[in-house]
Structure 1
Amino acid sequence: MQQHHRRLARSASLIIVLLLGHSGAWAAVCANPGRDGQGGSDAVINSYFSGPDTQTLSSGTRTFSLTRQRGPAPLHPGDLALLLQVQGASINTANRTGYGQLQGHGLVAEWVRIDRVEGEQVWVQGGGSGGGLLHSYVNAPANREQGRRRWQLVRVPQYEHFSLQQDSRALSWDGYTGGVLAMDVRRKVALNGHRLSVAGAGFRGGPALSLQGALGRPADWRYPVPSVQDRQAGYGHHASKGEGVAGTPVLLLEVGKGYPDGDMGRGAPANAGGGGNGLDLSHQRLGNGGGGGNGSAGGHGMPVEGGGLGGHAAPRALVLGGGGGAAARRKGDGGQGGAGGGLLLIRAAGLQGQGELDLRGAAGSAAGDVGSGGGSGGTLWLDLPVTDSLAITPEHAGGAGAKGGGQGGDGQLLARGERQWPGFQPLAVAGAEAGFRCRPAGHWITGVLFEDNGVGDGQAFNQRRDGDEAPLPGLTLTLRDPASDWQKTTTSGASGAFQFRLSEAQSRSQTLRLSLMLPEGWLLPALPALNGEPGHRHGNQIRWQLTASADRHSGPLPVGLIAEPSWQAPVDTALLPGSTAVLAFEYQAPVTGQVQFHSDHPAVRGLLMDRSCSGDSEQWQSGQNAGWPVSAGERLCVRVPVRFDGQATRIPVTATTLPHNTPADFIIAPQQTSVKILPGS
């Protein structure tokens, strides 16, 4: 069965590539939809990978090293993976009010297919140049200007069905990997009353230290973290900031540096909460931590003059929720900031049943009379069919602050494309397509519209786009059910391609009608067949009938049009009686063949061919000529000598196009245009 699925996935991918090539408007990279079979019985479904601590992946990269792994499954060829820059934002680090404001983030992400794995080396197929990565990704330790930067690669299982038998969760972010729960389901996700959870799996809260005081000031926005020796002596000031997109406090790291110029103090670095300040030199009066931020900013810790600030709202991106800031502490336990929620991604043909999507941030903890900030809610990203409704309300609130600590901000709700779901914002994530798009569980209809005129090295009228034949974007097609009022429309993209995708519920083996209204000035030389069934003409409308069966593809339907000839007269002209003038008409050939020009008006003395439209005549013809050879797209001029007798008259000239190798019963109607001659003075 899996081999059957793989063959279908490859055939779907091949259809797209053959139809559009890499320049198509929706040309896709596909992995192996459904290869992991039935899902929903495992608590942890994702595996997480990252590379060396100083590895940079440039756009266009196809191969790189993976040196860290967590999770149940290794990578194999044909796997789908999500590559994302988890940390990498730069912030204002000045010790004043603007501390922590975002200056740039680089929090990019993309879907890739795994093509090959050898030891620590992996080869991927993406949507970038040469099949490589679209974006650049950086692993780097913190320096004096910027906190640490980290990317990770997440293996995303490709299920045929997903029916939850127990709660499923993400492994929590550990500073290198984790925090992401992602799935790709060819059919539907059934929650069955269970939970998909990334609650508290995001960026970590600031750790709390027992300190006796140092030389910090109540107004500090940042302050150096105490050394190991100072910590042992309790010498230091303020509380630690949380972790976020701009870096990690050094107390959460095995080795390395934390935020530039210090991890302690009330300033909030990007979406991480600020730590509470010590309000006197002996660390007796203490501030509470600020909440982490994501979709909204975190709440500030108390008191106003020294509490940690809430983390800023995160940019619209695939981000983990910000960790809460710690509470300043003199002795004892508690005061650690709450962790943010993680990142939940669902790509599926539908989402059904009751259950929970849990992205909540974790609550802060208290240390005596002070408390830390809660972590923010995480990020939900959905890729579902346009027709799918969302009956589930995601839980994405931030965690509560302890005592006077700040509440974590709400998470982000994101979806592919513009959606009408309340609270959702659009976010495109490029790269390998969803399995339900590569191999839809419902019915899939594809085609391409183009000029079948043989220009370049192409052959006209072969119902195949070749040579330099141009695509025809922006043409409208309609799919409707004649037995009901249901219909949907689409337009051909920049490559001339179009597609309709029906869900399983819409694919009931009913008869549908696909139609195209020929645009003005265009001709259809031959009626292509769809699934072996010929189309039908109804005036300028072309119709095809199909059966909308599930797990079926109709097409690709090649619709090759040609333009009517362009035949243009000069502007109306005034002449003196008895005078002679040469009037230039202009013709453009829609297809390779011959063209004949003719006028039987008595004022016309003959026809002069001016092939290059230079004003110089190539040859004189009288009456009906024998036919001039033309190539598709060629422009030429006909000069018409006229003797004017003084009476106003209109002089018509006819162009008859005779294409080579025309299909049976196809002709191009003669084109007539005219110029009016008026008496001048």
Structure 2
Amino acid sequence: MNNKNVARLITFFAITCLFLASGAKAAMCAVPASDGDQSISGVVNTYYEGASSASAGSTTITVGASSGAINPLAAGDLVIIMQMQDAQFNSANSSAYGSGGTSGRGYTALNQTGRYEFARVDSVVGSSVTLSEGLTYSYTNANATLTRGQRRFQVIKVPQYNNVNISGTVTAAPWDGRKGGVVAIDVANTLNGAGGTIDVSGLGFRGGAHRRTGFAADATSRFFYVDTEANNNSGTNLRHSSKGEGIAGTPQYVFDGTLVIDTNGLSNADGYPGGDYGRGAPGNAGGGGNEWSNAGNDSGGGGGANVSNGGNGGAGWNLDPATQNVGGLGGASFPASLSSIVMGGGGGAGLANNSGQPHGGAGGGIIIIRANIVVGSLTLNAAGADGVQSTQNDGGGGAGAGGSVALTATSGLGSVTVDISGGQGGDAWPVDSSANGMHGPGGGGGGGYLIYSPGAGTPSVNLSAGAGGTTTTRNEPHGATSGVAGSQSSAAGRYPCVADIQVTKSDTLGDYQPGATRTYSIAVTNNGPGDVIGASVTDTVPVGLNIDAISCAPVSNCSSLTTTGQNIEATVDVGLGETVTISVDVTYSTAPEDY
């Protein structure tokens, strides 16, 4: 082979150098694709409750009990830290309840509610988790007090797939007051929906639980909150129903869609300041049904909220819905954004003095997907659950609000269908046809929140609010109202774990000269969007050239440099905007037959 052909051969190899990115900025990406190619269904995340508070800038978090997939945390894991509850509200027993205004709903401060961030685990020792970078936000774990509802955050282990197929239905462990309710996955290359579903409907904040039917002569009217112990000291509140669960705290008794759960054991300790019962709506949770002056009972529970308000519960039996409605108020809207999202608020329980069990519906959970490319149809369900209908002459439960969905991808979102609708308020005695048979239906749940990458396609989304329930065969609303529709935003950015890397290889070997020594270089430049950690660069040197030595600059950016036969392998870290140069010293063979 002549010298001209040798030069062409070298040029050919210069443009086919292989680059594999295996990491990006630690705060955003850990070790992308480390979980390989999989088909998934069921629960894929592991959830850890935050065991103690953590300050912004801290690199250590202490975790407690876990649920879900139960895969232990380890170095290189990607996690989400998310503040689930941290809002404060005015607990005045008046229309100032909630926001301090006149609506009887809402909050006075959100604090860190809904804040979340991705992080990389560096090490785990017992319950102590060390992160590779300091936290952006602070996170609080605290039990309820007389002035604050409980404050909870969780740490979620996020699988890091290379390619993944959604096989059947992926879901979450339900929110249990400390953890759960979220599906989060990271896909370095292709997420194939394959006609599958990710479903967290009704797995968010829980509804208020109706405790017992009956009649109490000491009932009082129009209370925005009522204390458990002040009413019979028995853990029951016969003329006021429980508020739902939400961003401002958790009442003692909640309904998860199947069971009534006592969150405080036998202590009869209210979870909300002032009390767990009555029509006031704390944060995004719905208020409970309330009595009107020992006369009109069975009003409906209020609907939960997300980015939009929940609907109000209907008036009690034999009352004017325009002037005598003391049904539960709907939860207040939350200002969702790219960096702050919440689960749907739980609906308040309806009031029942006969045999009904009109529990509130649970809100929808949260779905967070980061993928490079999405293909195939994929359905994401994060709808709120319906309030429980009362088939007897009792009120209906308020509905849960729709949850939140955050989608980050470069393409393919047009094949995704999202349901973040609010649940429907529970009907009240729908089988009665008499004029005086009207009881209080539940309020509808507010719609949820969707945020997705611009330019990656537009998902099909159901943002609708849940309708308020009705009563009697005439389908009368009797004061119950629908929630407010949710919203969507195209502002989620691109998938952050595939960096734009430029690799160039110099051709400085010159013509063939037996025994001549030459040096060529491979330059790896990172054009962003983040740092790259642990990238693998490989190159094959043509037969006829012997590898003498390899080096890297800056030296600190190269964790390994090896040769195997004619192959060169290097592992490098390349910061945003940096260039790492690998230099290769070679010698021409003295045997022309090598060419």
Give me the TM-score of the superposition, normalised by structure 1: 0.58
Alignment of 1:296 with 2:319, yes or no, is: no
Partner of 1:57: 54
The aligned runs of 1:480-559 (5 Å cut-off) are 498-499=527-528
Partner of 2:418: 394
**1:393 Cα offset (Å):** 3.1
Contact 2:527 2:576 in 1 (8 A): no
Inter-CA distance 93–420: structure 2 relative to 1 (3 Å threshold): farther
Partner of 1:212: 215
Alignment of 1:170 with 2:172, yes or no, is: yes
In structure 1, distance between residues paired with 2:404 and 2:310: 15
Partner of 1:114: 121
**Highest RCO, 1 vs 2 (Cα 8 Å, sep ≥ 6):** 2
Contact 1:366 1:402 in 2 (8 A): yes
Partner of 2:359: 336
Alignment of 1:406 with 2:419, yes or no, is: no
Partner of 2:66: 69
Inter-CA distance 235–388: structure 2 relative to 1 (3 Å threshold): closer
In structure 1, distance between residues paired with 2:414 and 2:386: 28
The aligned runs of 1:464-479 (5 Å cut-off) are none
Deviation by residue 1:413-448 (Cα, 9 ceiling, x = unmatched): 12367988485226669xxxx8x53335xx64599x
Structure 2 counterpart SS, 1:81: strand
**1:227 Cα offset (Å):** 7.1
AA partner of residue 131 (structure 2): V
Contact 1:213 1:278 in 2 (8 A): no
In structure 1, distance between residues paired with 2:231 and 2:280: 23
Partner of 1:360: 383
Deviation by residue 1:194-218 (Cα, 9 ceiling, x = unmatched): 2101100100000002242364433
Aligned equivalent of 1:92, options 90, 93, 98: 90
Contact 1:321 1:377 in 2 (8 A): yes
In structure 2, distance between residues paired with 1:65 and 1:159: 26
In structure 2, distance between residues paired with 1:557 and 1:226: 63
Inter-CA distance 415–103: structure 2 relative to 1 (3 Å threshold): farther
Deviation by residue 1:385-404 (Cα, 9 ceiling, x = unmatched): 2x554333311111111111
**1:193 Cα offset (Å):** 1.5
Inter-CA distance 40–98: structure 2 relative to 1 (3 Å threshold): farther
Give me the TM-score of the superposition, normalised by structure 2: 0.66
AA partner of residue 287 (structure 2): G
In structure 2, distance between residues paired with 1:118 and 1:28: 20
Contact 1:327 1:335 in 2 (8 A): yes
In structure 2, distance between residues paired with 1:214 and 1:158: 59
Contact 1:9 1:32 in 2 (8 A): no
Contact 1:290 1:308 in 2 (8 A): yes
Contact 2:231 2:237 in 1 (8 A): no
Aligned equivalent of 1:225, options 223, 228, 233: 228
Contact 2:286 2:305 in 1 (8 A): yes
Alignment of 1:149 with 2:213, yes or no, is: no
Inter-CA distance 395–446: structure 2 relative to 1 (3 Å threshold): farther
Contact 1:268 1:309 in 2 (8 A): yes
Name whichever of 154-163 and 284-293 sits farther off.
284-293
**1:164 Cα offset (Å):** 1.2
Aligned equivalent of 1:198, options 197, 200, 210: 200
Partner of 2:553: none
Inter-CA distance 277–29: structure 2 relative to 1 (3 Å threshold): closer
In structure 2, distance between residues paired with 1:348 and 1:235: 49
Partner of 1:468: none
Alignment of 1:42 with 2:106, yes or no, is: no
Deviation by residue 1:535-570 (Cα, 9 ceiling, x = unmatched): xxxxxxxxxxxxxxxxxx9998879xxxxxxxxxxx
The aligned runs of 1:271-670 (5 Å cut-off) are 271-281=284-294, 285-303=297-315, 304=321, 305-316=325-336, 317-367=340-390, 368-369=392-393, 370-385=395-410, 388-403=412-427, 404-415=441-452, 421=458, 423-425=487-489, 437-439=496-498, 444-445=501-502, 498-499=527-528
Contact 2:215 2:238 in 1 (8 A): yes
Partner of 1:678: none
Aligned equivalent of 2:264, options 236, 239, 254: 254
Structure 1 counterpart SS, 2:496: helix
**1:119 Cα offset (Å):** 1.6
**1:188 Cα offset (Å):** 2.0
**1:383 Cα offset (Å):** 1.2
For structure 2, the 5+ residue unaligned runs are 1-18, 99-105, 255-262, 316-320, 428-440, 460-486, 505-524, 531-572, 580-595
For structure 1, the 5+ residue unaligned runs are 1-6, 17-26, 126-130, 448-495, 502-552, 560-681
